[in-house]
Amino acid sequence: MSEAEVDQRLSKLLESDRVWCAYALADLDPAEAIHSTWLASEKAVVLIYKGLDPPVLFAHGDPEELIELVNQVPCGVYQYTLKRTCRVMLTDRLQPKFELHMWRMVLNPSDIPCISNVGLESLGPDDLPAIRRLFESSTDLPDAFHERQLAIGPFFGIREGTELLCIAGVHVLSQWAKVAAVGNVFTRPDRRGQGLATRASAAVVKALLEQNIQTIVLNVAIDNEPAVRCYRRLGFRPYCDYYEGAGKLSLAVGESQA
């Protein structure tokens, strides 16, 4: 099978659920090929994305075929994004360091409110030092931020003097697949509860729609009620629940060390 035929088969599998597979569709972008390892069958797909450390494990498809694929995933430390069915498959292999029950939310453009952008400014790679200082203000900093994200998608923030009070941006953005994930949303602890992150996130969403991005998603912990309310006000709605975490994946039954 040619590389083009493989990509076409992967795309068909992922397009069967664009919302759940939004990150994987972005990683199918040719620009991400160097970071992505795919395991696929007729009706299932597993992605090991090595653009973050530790790499991210994602799965989608028919449960019976997924069992065969997840058993091929090498042992090691991973971040993971898994629906309940696949998470259960890995119960005996996976030793979580932490795990959260999450919502995948998706934007309904018709529900977007009119929110002021006064005081907001666009951020880019030159703002990395200020962003790092902002993240250093709390231990609950975004766990999937990478500086290259500043170059691929819209980021907005609000400053007080020279220091950032809040930030919102993207985790992934693919013009090729027309998908994006809003992420890296953070407000300095002493300025929370003032709607700053809502305003910054609204600016990100507006910029993505202006780029004709068709599927816009985000992730939020189910028990983070203030954040869920914030995203609902922006026009996002829960789509499916899943488990997000990080941990060590041990050897599969019958597998031996090389």
Q: What is the pLDDT of residues 173-230, one digit of tens each?
A: 999 999 999 999 999 999 998 999 999 999 999 999 999 999 999 999 999 998 999 8
| Statement to judge: residues 198 and 233 lie in one domain | yes
Q: What is the pLDDT of residue 253?
A: 56
| Statement to judge: residues 87 and 171 lie in one domain | no
pLDDT in tens, 146-164: 898 999 889 999 999 989 9
| Statement to judge: residues 84 and 54 lie in one domain | yes
The domain that holds 136 is classified in CATH as 3.40.630.30
Q: Residues in the chain with pLDDT < 50? A: 257-258
| Statement to judge: residues 74 and 155 lie in one domain | no
| Statement to judge: residues 177 and 189 lie in one domain | yes
| Statement to judge: residues 24 and 114 lie in one domain | no
Omega into 54 within 30° of 0, i.e. cis?
Answer: yes
Q: What is the pLDDT of residue 258?
A: 46
Is 224 contained in some domain?
yes
| Statement to judge: residues 149 and 202 lie in one domain | yes
Instruction: Say how far apart CA 66 and CA 26 lie, in whole Å.
Output: 21
| Statement to judge: residues 83 and 139 lie in one domain | no
Per-chain mean pLDDT for the chain = 91
Q: Which residues make Cβ contacts (< 8 Å) with residue 181, sequence separation at least 6?
A: 22, 23, 26, 170, 171, 172, 173, 216, 217, 218, 219
Phi and psi at residue 145, in whole multiples of 5°? -80, 135
With 0-12 / 13-18 / 19 or more C-beta atoms within 10 angstroms meaning exposed / middle / buried, residue 118 is exposed
| Statement to judge: residues 115 and 232 lie in one domain | yes
Residues spanned by the domain of 83: 3-103+243-249
Number of structural domains the chain divides into: 2
**Total residues belonging to the chain:** 258
> Computed from CA positions of residues 136, 169, 102, 233, in that sequence, does the dihedral angle turn out positive or negative?
positive
| Statement to judge: residues 47 and 130 lie in one domain | no
CB 60 within 8 A of CB 206: no
Q: 3-class SS at 213?
A: coil
Number of alpha carbons in the 13 Å side-chain half-sphere of residue 254 = 3
| Statement to judge: residues 118 and 95 lie in one domain | no
| Statement to judge: residues 159 and 142 lie in one domain | yes
